[in-house]
Amino acid sequence: SQTIHQWPATLVQPVGSPLSLECTVEGTSNPNLYWYRQAAGRGLQLLFYSVGIGQISSEVPQNLSASRPQDRQFILSSKKLLLSDSGFYLCAWSVPGGADNEQFFGPGTRLTVL
């Protein structure tokens, strides 16, 4: 069966510091991968998605970036964190070419920028 992992689970970082959040998927090949941010009372906002290694689409311009160095690995990064980057970050995957485009979510990383 497929599983999705995210780490760290929680992170507290100072403003201006770099960020690296990791997501890995097991049990499937060539998944579509997604990064979301969940802010209180604002639902989930799609940040990036990827349909293959090295292929990244950005939905919202900001100081975050994403990379997909391996088929089942998706990384969210920042060179300099802002206070507004605080939030709950979710990684998700879906079956490529899936008929219903259902997405499966990881446990999330809670990021607090001080």
To another protein, the closest distance from the beta carbon of 41 in angstroms equals 6
> Beta-strand (E) ranges in 9-114?
10-13, 19-26, 32-38, 44-52, 55-58, 64-70, 73-78, 87-94, 104-105, 109-113
Strand pairing report for 44-52 and 104-105: unpaired
In the complex, the smallest distance separating the C-beta of residue 44 from another protein, rounded to whole angstroms, is 4
Identity of the residue, 11 or 44, whose beta carbon is nearer to another protein in the bound complex: 44
Nearest to 92 by CA among 108, 112, 81, 78: 108
Q: Which is nearer to another protein, 39 or 114 (CB)?
A: 39
Q: What is the contact surface with another protein in residues (CB under 8 A)?
A: 32, 34, 36, 41-46, 49, 51, 57, 90, 99-108
In the complex with another protein, the residue whose CB is nearer, 35 or 81, is 35
CB of 102 to another protein, least distance (A): 6
